[in-house]
Chains A and B, each alone.
Chain A
Amino acid sequence: NFMLTQPHSVSESPGKTVTISCTRTSGTIASNYVQWYRRRPGGAPTIVIYEDDQRPSGVPDRFSGSIDSSSNSASLTISGLKTEDEADYFCQSYDDNDHGVFGGGTKLTVL
């Protein structure tokens, strides 16, 4: 089975843009949709991107998702960073049995 590898942490200043990567270790990233979730400290996870690049209503357009076949990875980009964006972000896809596979999570610090 494959894994999804994320950087342990990233940090950026308010107003800047940050990109969090999610690399699939085997198989092709485009084989199964990738989702992104956010979990603020003490909170429930919430979805910010589904089906690679779709944004749920209520999620600001500062959040965008993409996949890159050349690097076999997905990315979550957050522009115009705000302190409220500080959270853990994790990616998720599916294996051949349609069971969820999650990345290890990335802690975003906005300072």
Chain B
Amino acid sequence: AQSVSQHNHHVILSEAASLELGCNYSYGGTVNLFWYVQYPGQHLQLLLKYFSGDPLVKGIKGFEAEFIKSKFSFNLRKPSVQWSDTAEYFCAVNAVGSGGGADGLTFGKGTHLIIQP
């Protein structure tokens, strides 16, 4: 079974600072990778996803993530954060291939990001 580790549980930044949230996964096979955002009181929204191809993936709201296969990592980045980026961020994986995929996404525990004006 796969697992996901998010390194930072709470991150506090000032507006315009750069952001990088770490995500590592554990799985021996091929995976699809996702970052979701959850604004206060809302449901999860997809920020970006990686299935194959270019390991640098661009998502909505200026976010991007880089898949580094050798490091089993899929870190989320944004060059300049805004107050409206305050939210919970979840990294998730989904196994590909036989025996995998049907059982949905495996999530990390989340990173609570607070952007101070």
Q: Do A and B come from one complex?
A: no
The residues of A with any CB-CB pair to B shorter than 8 Å are none
